[in-house]
Amino acid sequence: MRTEPPRAEPPRPEPMRRPEPAGAPPGNQDWPISPLPGEPPLTLFRGKRLVELEPGTEIDRFGEDDGNLVYAVGTPFSERSLVPEWVERPYHAYRVRQPVQVLTGAAIPWFDQPGGGTAYLLPDAIGELVASGRLVEVNGRERPRG
C-alpha cells in the first residue's frame, strides 16, 4: 500500500490593511469597529479592547458629529495626541443614554504630545447615535485645557 505525502495548502491572501503612519507602532487593524474617514488610525491607540459604555457615561470630541472618535469627558487636549490644529475645532460633549459597544484604547504620544487619554471609537457616527437616541448632547461644558 502506497501513501501519498500530505499536500501543502496554498497560501491564503492577506486581508487588505490601511498603511500605518510613519513612525507609528505596528497595530492590528482587524477590529469590528473602525475609525471613520478623517479619524486617526487604530495604530495611534494602545491597549485596545472592546467595552460597553453604560448609560450616564460622558464623552467628548473636538470636531463635528460626522466622526466616531471621542474621549472620556474633560480629557486634556495634549493627552488625545490629535493634530494640533484640531484644538480649534468645535467642542461637543455627549452623555450615553443606551449601552453602546465601543473600541477603547489609550492615545500614544504623538505630535509632540504625551498622549495617555482614554479614547473610544463608536460603532457609528455621533450624529447617527444622537438621532437614534443612544447619545444626547450635553450643552454648556467647558473645553478641556492643555
Q: Is 28 within the bounds of a domain?
A: no
Q: Residue 81: pLDDT above 80?
A: yes
Q: Dihedral through CA 22, CA 24, CA 28, CA 32, nearest 10?
A: -90
Q: What is the mean pLDDT of residues 36-50?
A: 97
According to DSSP, the β-strands at 91-96 and 135-138 are: antiparallel
State yes or no: pLDDT of 55 exceeds 50: yes
Decide if 32 is inside a domain.
no
Listing DSSP states for the chain in one string gives ---PPPPPPPPPPPPP-PPPPTTPPP-----SS-PPTTSPPGGGEEEEEEEEEPTT-EEEEES-TT--EEEETT--GGGTT--GGGGGS-EEEEEESS-EEEEEEEEPPBTTB----EEEE-SS-HHHHHHTTSEEEETTPPPPP-
Residue 88 lies in a domain: yes
Categorize the per-residue pLDDT at 28 as very low, low, confident or very high, splitting at 50, 70 and 90.
very low
CA angle, corner 20, sides to 47 and 73, nearest 5? Answer: 45
Residue numbers of the domain that contains 118: 47-138
**Does residue 69 lie within any of the structural domains?**
yes
Is the model more confident about 101 or about 7? 101
41 against 30, higher pLDDT: 41
Is residue 73 in some structural domain? yes
Q: How confident is the model at residue 70 (pLDDT cuts 50, 70, 90)?
A: very high
In a domain, 109, yes or no: yes
Range from 15-19, 33-37, 130-134 carrying the lowest mean pLDDT: 15-19
In a domain, 93, yes or no: yes
pLDDT at 21 over 60: no
Number of domains in the chain: 1
Please report the pLDDT score of residue 13 as a whole number. 40
Q: Does residue 90 sit within a domain?
A: yes
